Amino acid sequence: MPASLALDDYLAALNTAATQLRDDTAALRDEEVPTCRDWSTLQLIAHTGMVHRWATGIITGTINRHNADAATEWFHNEGMQQDDAGAWLLAGVELLTHALHDAPEDLEVFFFLNDAPPPRLAWARRQCHETTIHAVDGLAARLGRIPSAADAAVEPTVALDGIDELLTGFVTRSHQELRSPRPATVVVEPTDADRAWTLRLSDAPTSCEHGATVSSPDSKWTGTAAQLYLGLWNRGNEIRQDGDDVLAFWRNHQQIEWN
């Protein structure tokens, strides 16, 4: 199931999350982000706005493998120099939204996740979740703590789609560090939706299957879609675990970083 939302749904969620991020960090600049402790709130905004502009460049063809690193540095530095970083963030989202609306349905550009939809929809999906998760970071900065799923109020449909992107797209990539010397099966099952995923961890790349494909997994993780979404992205601590403690291994080894 490569994508469960339509382009307009992703763009609406992207814009909502960006506005929330702007609003939650409007009075902040140097404060620590509890969910990303190496970042200040300004660094959070600069990173998120950089990613939006970088994705826009991929979609429009102005960024390629020859200038991608330079563009990354340029956009991040631009964000760090802003007096009104929130306005700069939203300006980038507007450019990204227009680029995705104007792109042809059969757009042929680079994309990097497994089990992905066609590139136009894949980039809309990726930027939706990039921004939604970083909006949670902005909320954490305002609250001064890790937020609950109730605090974050992520729509269940967005959360379910984001779980699927993370489990099928990110963690199955060959260079991810989620490799265990002890094989383990994990079923991830939301309590508020008829969906499930089965992860198979080993010393090889992790695999993911849709559905609860094993009757007695080593570990089972449950919670609402929003609780699982935030917890799997290491932005929440409301996942309930039954069985072996594979969740601690996940938290220590499943890290998504810009590279």
The enclosing domain of 103 has a CATH number of: 1.20.120.450
Structural domain span for residue 171 = 162-253
* Same domain? 242 vs 132: no
**Whole-Å CA distances, 206 to 51, 89, 105, 122, 166:** 26, 34, 31, 21, 12
Is the pLDDT assigned to residue 250 strictly greater than 90? yes
Across 66-80, 114-128, 146-160, 165-179, least confident range: 165-179
* Same domain? 96 vs 133: yes
Q: Are strands 184-190 and 36-40 parallel, antiparallel or unpaired?
A: unpaired
* Same domain? 119 vs 207: no
Query: How many CB atoms neighbour CB 113 within 10 A?
Result: 17
Is the pLDDT assigned to residue 2 strictly greater than 80? no
User: Which residue, of 102, 123, 147, is where some domain finishes?
Assistant: 147
**Would you state the pLDDT for residue 175?**
84
CA angle (145, 147, 152) in 5-degree steps: 145
246 inside domain: yes
Query: Which two structure tokens, joined as six digits, stand for 58?
Result: 């991929």
Q: Are strands 36-40 and 32-33 parallel, antiparallel or unpaired?
A: antiparallel
**Whole-Å CA distances, 89 to 8, 13, 14, 210, 243:** 20, 15, 12, 35, 42
* Same domain? 24 vs 116: yes
Q: Is there a contact between 113 and 208 (Cβ–Cβ < 8 Å)?
A: no
Nearest-angstrom CA–CA distance, 141 and 88:
19
The mean predicted confidence, pLDDT, of the chain is: 96
**Would you state the pLDDT for residue 259?**
64
pLDDT in tens, 28-41: 999 999 999 899 99
pLDDT in tens, 49-87: 999 999 999 999 999 989 999 999 999 999 999 999 999
**Would you state the pLDDT for residue 1?**
59
